[in-house]
Amino acid sequence: STGSTGDEPSTSTGEDVVVPDRIVFFYYPDGVWRDDLFVESGGSFTLGPVLSGLAAYQDRLLLVTGFDNRTLDPADPASSLPMHSAAPAALLTGALGSVGLVQDPMPDWYLGGGPSIDQVIGAELGVFVAHLGVRTNHDAVATTSPSWLAADEVAPAIAHPADALVALFEDPAAPELADVAAQVAAVPESIDDAAVPVALPAQVGIARGLLRLDRTRVITLSVCHTGCMMFMGWLGLEAGLHELGSYPTDPQAEQYSTGHAWLVGQLLPLVDELAQTPAPDGQTWLDHTLLVILNDGGDFPPAHPLTDLTAVLVGNASGRLRSGAVVHVDGADQADLAVTLAHAMGVDAGRFGHPDLEAQVLTALLR
């Protein structure tokens, strides 16, 4: 771990108006090529294909790169081996657990390290955490979830937008939700891979509705989990997403990039709405919403590494975080990032995650 704890940030950006910040986590699996995210040159950076949809917001991005998603091989407690299918559970819980073997019953070391940081933030702020998923159990066991209520309890994703619309809103037929309801109505009852092009935009629509009506301040969106075999045929991809990520050369590498670019691109309507909606203090809701785009794997090669990860932060949490920058945090880990995100939300996460990680706020990310 690296970094040190800074002063607690103010919760107000206006002289008389206190605007509560919100945080949205977007998780997608299996690693991503660094150059597909961004390329640095001469002190500036250019967005790669995966982030190209966010080009209009480049000055609102903070690219945090170089941290590791550390996991532990239970057969060798002194090690810190990259256990690929442990990655989602470790990412937001600060765990060192998991090995990725599917057993019944699952051994203790497969489980997350405790409540994930989204749940910690939600509990501290006194709001429920809306966990929305798309194909989150497809070719993956439930314990690969990124969101956890406790070390032995997954926070289940609401896997169908129709269920989310009924469960999370007091009046699903409210006029303010008409556009969201229309998206949900287009999703078939059973969501297979071919339905993802309507299911994921509908889940993003649910997130838009939750923020629009101030239903919660913490949302987690997760797409598939580790070992994602989702076949994105609507993009012309020729294999499952996880398989494509196992090859360092084209055409597989290019198709892998195409798949990830599509996934991240579905967030643009959410970002646009936040940027175009005035907040009570005269700023926009994007100024008060932190969107955290996370992949549990890092730069290639090798395939699906758990080192040298990049987190993409959109918005700066009411000015608490830097923006329009790339920050290298070599030596940091997932627990450091988690407590930094909590810090940006005004939450002290305490001794978060596995004690061996010694989680500390990454002050290099703060203004």
More confident residue, 79 or 198: 198
How many other β-carbons are positioned within 10 Å of the β-carbon of residue 133? 27
Average of per-residue pLDDT values in the chain: 86
Residue 328 lies in a domain: yes
pLDDT of 121 strictly over 70: yes
What is the mean predicted confidence (pLDDT) over 40-69?
A: 94
pLDDT of 104 strictly over 80: no
Confidence tier at 228 by pLDDT (50, 70, 90): confident
What is the mean predicted confidence (pLDDT) over 148-170?
A: 92
pTM for this structure?
Answer: 0.90
**Would you say 139 and 228 are in contact if contact means Cβ atoms under 8 Å apart?**
yes
User: What pLDDT, on a 0 to 100 scale, did the predictor assign at position 83?
Assistant: 60
What is the mean predicted confidence (pLDDT) over 17-25?
A: 92
User: What pLDDT, on a 0 to 100 scale, did the predictor assign at position 6?
Assistant: 35
* pLDDT tens digit sequence for 241-282: 888 888 878 898 899 999 999 999 999 999 999 999 999 999
User: What pLDDT, on a 0 to 100 scale, did the predictor assign at position 87?
Assistant: 77
* pLDDT tens digit sequence for 276-323: 999 999 999 999 999 999 998 888 766 677 888 999 999 989 999 999
Residue 130 sits in a domain of what CATH number?
A: 3.40.720.10
Residue 6 lies in a domain: no
User: What pLDDT, on a 0 to 100 scale, did the predictor assign at position 359?
Assistant: 93
**Would you say 217 and 123 are in contact if contact means Cβ atoms under 8 Å apart?**
no
User: What pLDDT, on a 0 to 100 scale, did the predictor assign at position 10?
Assistant: 41
d(CA 111, CA 95): 8
User: What pLDDT, on a 0 to 100 scale, did the predictor assign at position 144?
Assistant: 74
Q: Cα-Cα-Cα-Cα dihedral of 202, 117, 153, 128, to 10°?
A: -50
What is the mean predicted confidence (pLDDT) over 73-83?
A: 51
- Name the least confident of 74-88, 233-247, 328-342: 74-88
What is the mean predicted confidence (pLDDT) over 196-211?
A: 98
For the sheet containing 309-314, what is the strand order? 129-134, 218-223, 22-28, 289-295, 309-314, 61-67, 325-328
Confidence tier at 18 by pLDDT (50, 70, 90): confident
**And the tokens for 111?**
């489980």
Residue 5 lies in a domain: no
Q: How many domains does the chain have?
A: 1
pLDDT of 99 strictly over 80: no
Domain extent, residue 51, equals 22-365
What is the mean predicted confidence (pLDDT) over 53-59?
A: 97
Residue 40 lies in a domain: yes
pLDDT of 2 strictly over 70: no
Residue 258 lies in a domain: yes
d(CA 312, CA 340): 13
Which residues make Cβ contacts (< 8 Å) with residue 319, sequence separation at least 6? Answer: 13, 287, 367
* pLDDT tens digit sequence for 311-364: 999 998 999 999 999 999 998 999 999 999 999 999 999 889 888 888 999 999
